[in-house]
Amino acid sequence: MSSPSTHLMELPRKILIGDNVICQLGSFIMDLDGKASKIAIITGNNVKAKVEKVFRSSVFESLQYSWYIVDDASMDSVNKIHTKFRDYIPDFVIGLGGGRSVDVAKMTAFKLNKPFISVPTSASHDGISSPFVSIRGTDKPHSVKVNTPIGVLADTQLLSEAPLRLLASGCGDLVAKLTAVKDWELARDEKNEYFGTYAANLAYMSAKIILEGSDKLLHKKKEFGIRTIVEALISAGVAACIAGSSRPCSGAEHLFSHALEYTVGQNCGLHGERVGLGTIMMAKLHGLDWERIVKTLKNVGAPTKAKQIKINEDQVVRSLLTAQSLRPDRYTILSKLKLDRRSALELAKSVCIV
Ligand code: ZN
């Protein structure tokens, strides 16, 4: 593959982060478009119950809004919501909640060709600021590119109320940048693929900050942990915007995670948990210090063994063997090494099977 001479960088225009910034959502929207009159909020039932009152007091009277509740992160949910927009075309679509609400809202905004605002209530993955969505029912077994959020509003108070497991999952999605960047370097060196040094460094830095600070994250959850993790996730998403692809954020460890979902179904942990496990194995294949990654994930309370996300040896091996076939065009360490059953089993046993 030859290097492209041009690519488009679409970045978020406004990012607001801090305690209780949800109260400023109304002015945040009007700052983005002073003529906005209708918005659609896509969220989950629990989040709606929690923030409805504060949201109502934050928006101006001139702004009409409607709530849409998401069941799951699938194209069915997107299509169901989309059909409700025949008579109500919003100026903005807001994704308010966890990964599911943010992904469904991002895809809905893309289908409507309307700007999207991301308001995450959990710091569990880097999709909060990137143009990529992981949604079931598209024609791709991996994340797909839509539009970059025009705004990101991250309320650290709300984020700190999310279960610690979600935050640990966010750390899994961050350490993944170590192997994603390594895979990208490999594709540059062996396939002459375009490589953006700046985007790669930015993604790498968001992993490094977790590697270096993981022992403090548990003890200072709110002050240090939330802010650090959410800023790192936003920054990783921006790295993907700059690269014009998910390359700096997603390599073989993400393919492994997608393959697990494919083989096991829904019940195999959170995105960042699967990806964290994949990172340990891909780091070993790359000759990186995988034991440091294990220590980092343990420090933040993320799983480091397959059984912790209820998957067995055979499922890990099958996912290792099928991962690359889900995206043959993305050259990774798995394309290079072409594991067979014996080497996949050896790898799994040596790092993530007790
Ligand atoms: Zn991810």
pLDDT, tens only, 220-241: 556 668 999 999 999 999 999 9
**C-alpha 22 to ligand 1 mean position (Å):** 25
* Domain range list for the chain: 14-162, 166-350
Q: What is the enclosing helix (H) or strand (E) of 125?
A: none
Tell me, yes or no, if the two domains 14-162 and 166-350 fold the same way: no
- CB burial of residue 163 (10 Å; 0-12, 13-18, 19+): exposed
62 Cα–ligand 1 center, Å: 38
* Element (DSSP H or E) covering residue 307: none
Task: Classify domain 166-350 at the CATH superfamily level.
Answer: Dehydroquinate synthase-like - alpha domain (1.20.1090.10)
User: Which numeric CATH code is attached to 14-162?
Assistant: 3.40.50.1970
What pLDDT band is residue 14 in, cutting at 50, 70 and 90? very high
Average pLDDT, the chain: 92
Please give the distance, rounded to the nearest whole angstrom, from the Cα atom of residue 89 to the centre of ligand 1: 31
> Is pLDDT at 23 greater than 60 in this prediction?
yes
10 Å CB burial of residue 165 (0-12, 13-18, 19+) is middle
How far, in Å, is the centroid of ligand 1 from the Cα of 172?
Answer: 8
How far is ligand 1, taken at its centre, from the CA of residue 237, in Å? 9
> The tokens of 30 are what?
């009007």
pLDDT tens per residue, range 110-145: 999 999 999 999 999 999 999 999 888 887 777 889
Please say whether the beta carbons of 54 and 23 come within 8 A. Answer: yes
pLDDT tens digits for 42-94? 999 999 999 999 988 888 788 899 999 998 888 999 999 888 888 889 999 99
